Structure 1
Amino acid sequence: MKSARPYTMRARAASAESTRSRVLEAAVQQLKGRLRSDIRLNDVASQADVTVQTVLRLFGSKAELFRRALDAVLQEMRDDLDQAEPGNVTDAVRTWFDHYEQFGDVVIANLADEHDPAVAPVVRIGRERHRERVETVLEPQLRRFAAGERERVVNALVCMSDVYTWKLLRRDMQRPRHEAEATLEMMINSVLGDS
């Protein structure tokens, strides 16, 4: 009987970890498609096929669950955006549009709700990472600008490649993706002097 106990404990631990992963993945999927303020623990529990009590037992609180889920979403976004080869404007535009096509509508909704203390840090992180991304992916072109001019060029590039530009082209003007990407690429190359 004693030999069965360690096996049972390992099986329970594996089952608990599997459940924890399922709950976290459900929270990640919810965050990708909806505003955090619109997501209830019942939504996550139902998607993970567990009870709300199980979610709370595993993560302690809704805030902790969503903190971990947000970390996972942000890492996934960073990995996706890192696919662009530095200096390749076409790649940069493609990865931004890949990202915006998947998350743009939720990002726009979050921006509209950024006064909410739970949303404000997410928006701040998004803005910081977007600027970092612009500077990283376009670094080869940015090297030729003097410090003061470089700052103005980066500001222009951050504005041009922002989610609001995607929204204007894709949602408001209803341009096909390939045309919207070509427009953004033209704008970026114009500012960089590569047109």
Structure 2
Amino acid sequence: MKRPYVQTARARSVALTGERILDAALARFAAADYDEVTLDQVAVDAGVTVQTVLRRFTSKEGIVRALSERIRPQVLAQRGEAPVGDLAGAVANLVEHYELEGDLVLHLLRQELRVPAYAEVTARGRRLHADWCARVFTPWLDGLDEVERRRRTAQVVAVCDVHTWSLLRRQAGLSQRQVELALVELLTGVLP
């Protein structure tokens, strides 16, 4: 009777250790370039040994993949709440996502050409973004001939890109609400 409890407690402890490692790694990766983050730092921040980090994730690349797997369902759930056919609602959903994750995404994008693990994450993110745009803006894109649909979809993807948010929010200094209005205005010019 005591044995199953011990195994359950141990499994819980192992899971919590893994989460601490991922939390520590995410904080490091968000604050510094990939090459500047060491497994020693991650281990110290997580309160474990480097050997524990390696046993659990095998490498920094393994940590990045595990972080991507942990974050992806959260992103899918949040972006999945965007209402189809509601321009203002979809844009509000998008901007909310960028307010939470935009700076981290831009940080990864700046490094993707030299960090293969980040390139995997950003490639998945691009596919997710393109699929999101096609789904959310379907009412405007349906019924167009193939050439126009491809062009309009590409325009929507560009307008809704994290770099556009960054230009409006970070460089122009617009408020979140003003960014939403600007994106709606841009999309109104793109959507038929």
**TM-score of the two chains, using structure 1 as the length reference:** 0.84
Contact kept, 8 Å, 2:65 with 2:117, in 1: the verdict is no
The letter of the residue matching 1:139 is: T
Contact kept, 8 Å, 1:93 with 1:185, in 2: the verdict is yes
1:122–1:37 distance in 2 versus 1, CA, 3 Å: farther
Partner of 1:68: 66
Q: CA deviation at 1:187?
A: 1.1
Runs of 4+ in 1 over 4 A off after TM superposition: 3-7, 28-35
| Structure 2: gaps (5+ residues) | none
1:6–1:131 distance in 2 versus 1, CA, 3 Å: closer
Q: CA deviation at 1:57?
A: 2.2
**Higher Rg:** 1
1:62–1:109 distance in 2 versus 1, CA, 3 Å: closer
State the Cα deviation string for residues 118-176 of structure 1 (Å, max 9, x = none): 33222222222111110011112211322211111001111111111111111111111
Coordinate RMSD, CA, aligned: 2.3
Partner of 1:147: 146
The letter of the residue matching 2:37 is: I
CA distance in 2, matches of 1:164, 1:186: 17
Contact kept, 8 Å, 1:130 with 1:158, in 2: the verdict is yes
The letter of the residue matching 2:68 is: L
Identity %: 35
1:192–1:22 distance in 2 versus 1, CA, 3 Å: same
Partner of 2:174: 175
| Structure 1: gaps (5+ residues) | none
Matches within 5 A, 1:40-119: 40-116=38-114, 117-119=116-118
